[in-house]
Amino acid sequence: MPLLALGLNHNTAPVALREQAAFAPEEILMALRGLAAVPAVNEAAIISTCNRTEIYCWLEQEDPTPALQWFLEHHGLQPQPGPSDFLYRYIDAHTVRHLLRVACGLDSMVLGEPQILGQLKEAYRQAQEAGTIGLQLRRLFEHAFTVAKEVRTETDIGANPVSIAYAAVRLAQQIFTDLNHQTALLIGAGETIELVARHLRDNGIGQMIIANRTLERGHRVASHFNARAIRLNELPAHLPAADILITSTASQLPIIGKGAIESALRERKHRPMFIVDIAVPRDVEPEVGQLHDVYLYNIDDLQSVIEAGRQLRNEAAKQAETIIEQRVEDFMSWQRSLGAVHAIRAYRDQAKAASAEVLEKAHRMLQSGKSAEQALEFLAHTLTNKLLHNTTQRLDQAARDGRQDLLEAAQEILNPADPPKKI
């Protein structure tokens, strides 16, 4: 029964397709239960972020086709040739390696970025809440969290922090050399927007406005950055003040249209606006990019900015890859050990049953008037024979059949490395 990872990311699929394949936050639990209900799927977890959508499964069979079909049908995607050309599939050790690389930020648009680890932990929590995670995926995700911590401790993968948020601010600095006199309007109040706000504050932004569907949440974020919070329905009144507009929400439809930006530009007397749409699906209609005096970038456009900082982490990434390879083998070793668990349990149960049977007979001997010495001799002799009978019989048969491999394995298993200590 294999482990499966199936999905697409910023390396394999354009933003338009990633939009189609994204899971809305409110549908994750239902989707998890739907995936786990596929006959071939024993356990399931879903990761859906701006840059990737992935499903992880513990399957009952080698063929991953049922999980692939569920993924395509859930999103209304067509099979090959088409969207499935952009999908990657990993099995067993390749799945483990992929998740460890994701957790450590080695598969991110920004090499080594830490944000993905929190997103993985949220995906794990959701799978637990949905009841779709069991021994295999629980161990896999917890292993990934441990390895990510080890990599950040043992390497400089987190040094010189670079993120999508930081890339957006760096791009703003290239357009507005001095941010001290600029006003930034941030839409959303999630982790990405908090990172954007932090980088803007650290780079001396003049004013910040945070717009969010829930005003209370907007206030909580704004309070950390000396910013003002507004509701989303107040956006039209504040767009004209925005020199910098950065948006990252979970909306399934654009919330900023071409008409709204045209109106804002008229009030601004066509002073330029810099807009970064980090959301997937996109928050800003693509047609906004056709307007004069607007610099519109989506999450794919940030790639070139991010590349500039990638070299700073390449050496640390090599060290991280070495650690990951070791930890992949650790996980696969644990998984292989599960094959012995059932045999060990059955062997112990057999020994306990034999012990209980012989002990009961020894008790009856004592009750019938036999001496304790006789009962003990019977117990030791009979129990030894019962425990060794099947093993010695099969070793004898193996020798008759010329099964040298079994005899050598038995020699390794049954002969202790050190002689027994005298008591």
What radius of gyration do the chain's Cα atoms show? Answer: 31
CB within 8 A of 243, min separation 6: which ones? 176, 182, 183, 184, 271, 272, 273, 274
Catalytic residue among 5, 45, 50, 242: 50
How many CB atoms sit inside 10 A of residue 296's CB?
Answer: 21
Q: Cβ-count burial of 400 within 10 angstroms (0-12 exposed, 13-18 middle, 19+ buried)? A: exposed
3-state secondary structure of 349: helix
Enter the tokens of residue 100.
């460890």
CB within 8 A of 29, min separation 6: which ones? 126, 129, 130
Q: Cβ-count burial of 56 within 10 angstroms (0-12 exposed, 13-18 middle, 19+ buried)? A: buried
Residue holding tokens 């071939």? 40
Enter the tokens of residue 268.
């601004």
Residue holding tokens 């005899």? 407
Q: Please work out, in degrees rounded to the nearest 5, the angle formed at the alpha carbon of residue 305 by the alpha carbons of 301 and 310.
A: 125
> Is 50 a residue of the active site?
yes
What is the arrangement of strands in the sheet containing 244-247, beginning at the earlier edge strand? Answer: 228-231, 207-212, 183-187, 244-247, 273-277, 294-298
How would you label 200-225 residue by residue, b for 16+ Cβ within 10 Å and e otherwise? Answer: bbeeebebbbbbbbebeebbebbeeb
Enter the tokens of residue 263.
């109106």
Active site members: 50
